[in-house]
Amino acid sequence: MSNNRPSTLILHGNGIVLCWFLAVLPGFGSETVNLIGKWSLSNSDGSVFLGAEVPGCVHSALRQQGFIKDPYYRFNDVSYRWIAFDNWTYTTTFNASAQLRANQRVLLVFDGVDTVASIWLNGIVIGKTDNMFRKYDFAVRDLLSDGDNVLKVSLSSPVLYASEQRKAHSAYRVPPECPPDVQKGECHVNFIRKEQSSFSWDWGPSFPTMGLWKGVRLEAFDVLQLIRVSSVPLHNLSLSQWRVQVELLVDAVQTTNVQVAFSMPELDSEQILPTQFLPGKTRNIFTLNINTSSHVKLWWPNGHGERPSYRLTVRGFQGRFLILEAESKVYFRSVELVQEPVLGSPGLSFYFRINGKPIFLKGSNWIPAHSFQDRVSPAVLRNLLRSAVQANMNALRVWGGGVYEQDLFYSLCDEMGIMVWQDFMFACAMYPTEEDFMQTVRDEVVQQVQRLKSHPCIITWSGNNENEAALATDWFDIPASQRPTYLRDYVALYVDNIRAVVQEEDQSRPFLVSSPTNGAGSERQGWVAADPYDPHYGDTHFYSYSLDCWDWRTFPRTRFASEFRYLRTGATTVISLPTVNTTRTETSRCYDRRLYTSTCPTPRIPRRHSWILSTSLRLCRLSASRPRQSFTGEVRARSSRAKVALWALSTGSSTTSGRRLPGHPSCPSAEQILSHFGLGNVSELTVGHLGTICPAVLTQVLLPSCPFTEPKAVQPLDYSVWGYGFLAVTVINLASLLGLFLIPFTKKPYFPKVLTYFIGLAIGTLFSNAVLQLIPEALGFDPKSDNYVGNAVGIFGGFYMLFFMEKVLKMALRVDVEHGHSHFAAAELPPENSFPNGDTVETKDSIVLTNTAATGTGSPEPNLTSSRDGSGVMCHWLRGKQISDIRTVAWMITLSDALHNFIDGLAIGASFTVSVLTGFSTSTAIVCEEFPHELGDFVILLNSGMSVPQAIFFNLLSAVSCYVGLGFGILLGSNFAPNAIFAIAGGMFLYIALADMFPEMENILREQKRTSTKIIFFLIQNAGLLTGFTIILLITVFAGNINLG
């Protein structure tokens, strides 16, 4: 590098801008080559190859290049599990100039690797990584070549790595092994230093990411490099004097003597101190005393004052040459955690003093803003944090199951006055304590504390989330004899290591071993209290799954509520914001019944929308009450399209206007609120929209209870529901013509076998559709939860085993018990060849088809041209008997069939409003049932005296009622809870299957005389039953992997 050419290195972090300036002294130059941007990405066998952005992750790259769809959509988290089970390689090529290679030291720096990787440079392994939360650097000077250099990062499956680490830990288990089955997550996340929630959590999907999630670069220097500048203001209360503890993290090639000058010109404070930077990475601490005559303006939390900052300049001189210069912001504030006896109450207090003033904390828990960190843009962070401030929050708890947030997050919190309770990334688990694990944790903690301690927003460190409580209250069923082992591991990890490192690195703020904890009380009990939830000590986590969150009496009177949450029944993971139409339709039913109270039933919302609707409405309830000091819930964002949900946000004092809508002195509907604010026609609600309507919704929270009013108008429906429903009903109605087309085949000897199979198929589909889908829908729970599918299979198994054993015993003992009825048999049959229309009668294995009453005593009609011909009063093609001469049973069949078909249509319509797959499943069951049913009805109409054209006409006429039922089903299912429809349909399906069609199937078998023939028919019955049941079972079990519409 030319001696006369200055080199500047700009590093952005912690609100700090570092600049190096080279004077005329040779050898102090530095150079940085940024390696972010376009890389290539491939999987283990090379079957997937694509371009990928760095910083980024595999999921994001696959999505951007069109290899996968939106991972958040429906059940794609399960569909894309394969990604995390494969190994992936990032590759790039870069040029290393002779000037860069001439430096004494060249480092390849990774700010964040997710997670387990081998680093290759020009075909040589230069290092490995195993911690998502650490920065890694590798010396590469001697491996660089002139021209192109190939850098590869080979990432191993985090799921398989965690499993291998678990197997290697054979001495005792480290619970939990796996998340609950309902989360569809991965196992052993506590064995890998990675975002714990990426293997799934109760609020989010499982996306075990892999990638280069932060920057990559080459750093070259000859003498030394300033890695980081940290500044921590400390206040001496007795002397009423401030001092700034400045820490320089330096990497020196050789021992270097330097005069370091510290200056804060705005406070008229300056100091020059000699120092010696030793070879390697060293931590060098200096103290700058602030001039006592200067007035120091303090940093205050949101709502308590301003947040001025001061400029700190650091310069290093060797002789008269300036060899380094750095500049950073400094905020002055003090923080104390007060734990002292409370007059008239057991236990200790637990509150924070900022600058000597007790501060009431009100805020939320912060979980990762996106499953893929590269999707969290500066705009997203600003929007979320600004929303928290506008909601009158002054604190956020960075939850221990996520990530240490990016530098911008903390800088924005500094500026906005948001206090941060910072967890270390350990949550809801025990952890291994082998030395290699402990060492990577120590490195992680050192780096994170050094990175973050300059931020005044951080007011406390906390070792973990809920691990003390898990151990104290025995979440994991640890035997009493093994408990000392887990207590020892807990103290070793969080007290002897993490706490010790934090107290060495940062003496300016308190450290709590866990949350919740009894604080000083837990310490006195050996760091694990008997009851970490004791409301008289420390902080508390409170969860309620049934109580009314608007009744203040349900809340415990804690010293400090650092986390609480209320859950709504049926809430599921958010996929995307519902449209305004969905929100308007669903809220208008319940809005005036006060959706926020426990008296309002859960609306029937498509499952992928129910949680976001409830949480979006919770956004507007922030200021309805003033509970004790608390963080409440978890702020979460999905994308820059404002896919935002607030996990049980419900706290804080408010200055939000409570104005009512003009013309609506009380209780406006959701429709009126949206229309008033000009949102009646927008397609999707954004955070900005929610912020606009929040004051109006808050007003309703504060008003007396509003009477229930029905919606004034039915909103437009999704046309695909009508289309699918019409198609399904049309296919089903075509079954009414089966009798006409199958007449020639009824005398065939194989026809009874075909009919038997379809009757069995109908019984299997109707029975299983009722038990597996319609009844669970009617009762309002997910059939895939709580092992319901397994129990339902048991119900069918009991029915099938009894059927099977009974039939085997009857055939073995040659016993036939007559019961049931059949559409296909008459009490007495007229003689064969006695039917002038050429209709047939069943002999042996054939089915009776006749247009006369099969009474055995009547005589056949003379001919169609007799005086009784109805052609004079009916359409020509409907010629046959007069209406009055057709037997009454024909009209009973026609009317009952019309009712039957109406309910079929009702069930189909309601099913399609839930999902295409549910509608398809119900339609399948009905199609299987309609084949034998309509054929039987056709036979009865002929046997009751109708001609073939008359039977076709009236059979079709009764089938048309299915369309009417479809229309009612869609309208009712879309605008009201369709549970009653499913209950009626479920009962009807069970009746048809067991009381109607099962005896018909038995009668056909009973008519067979030979044992071998009976066995064949019995096997056909089994095939039909099991086929029908299997179809519906597969649809139910694999619903998440079937995409229809």
Q: Which amino acid is present at 385? A: L
Beta bridge partners, 252, equal 224, 280
| Nearby residues of 827 by Cβ (< 8 Å), 6 or more positions away | 854, 855, 856
In angstroms, the CA 927 to CA 745 distance is 20
> How far is C-alpha 919 from the chain's CA centre?
24
Residue 723 phi/psi, 5-degree rounding, is -65, -50
Which pair of tokens denotes residue 901?
């078909």
Q: Which amino acid is present at 308? A: P
For the question of residue 930 being annotated catalytic, the response is: no
For the question of residue 466 being annotated catalytic, the response is: yes
Catalytic entry in 186, 247, 444, 563? 563
Token pair 């510290």 is at which residue? 262
Catalytic entry in 466, 468, 634, 1007? 466
Under 8 Å between Cβ of 664 and 699: no
Which pair of tokens denotes residue 1030?
């299997």
Q: How far is CA 1003 from CA 236, 587, 819, 1017, in A?
A: 98, 53, 8, 11
Residue 803 phi/psi, 5-degree rounding, is -60, -45
Beta bridge partners, 460, equal 421
* Closest to 303 in 3D by CA, of 453, 419, 454, 459: 419
Under 8 Å between Cβ of 358 and 338: yes
Judged on CB neighbours under 10 Å (0-12, 13-18, 19+), 484 is: exposed
Residue 970 phi/psi, 5-degree rounding, is -65, -45
The H or E element containing residue 948 is helix 948-975
In angstroms, the CA 566 to CA 646 distance is 12
Which pair of tokens denotes residue 156?
């191993």
Percent helix, strand, coil in the chain (nearest 5)? 40, 20, 40
In angstroms, the CA 257 to CA 284 distance is 13
* Closest to 39 in 3D by CA, of 26, 50, 27, 25: 50
DSSP string for 189-223: GGGSBS-GGGG-BTTB------EE-S-EEEEEESS
Under 8 Å between Cβ of 434 and 169: yes
Token pair 């139409």 is at which residue? 581
Q: 176: cis peptide before it, omega within 30°?
A: yes
Known catalytic residues? 466, 563
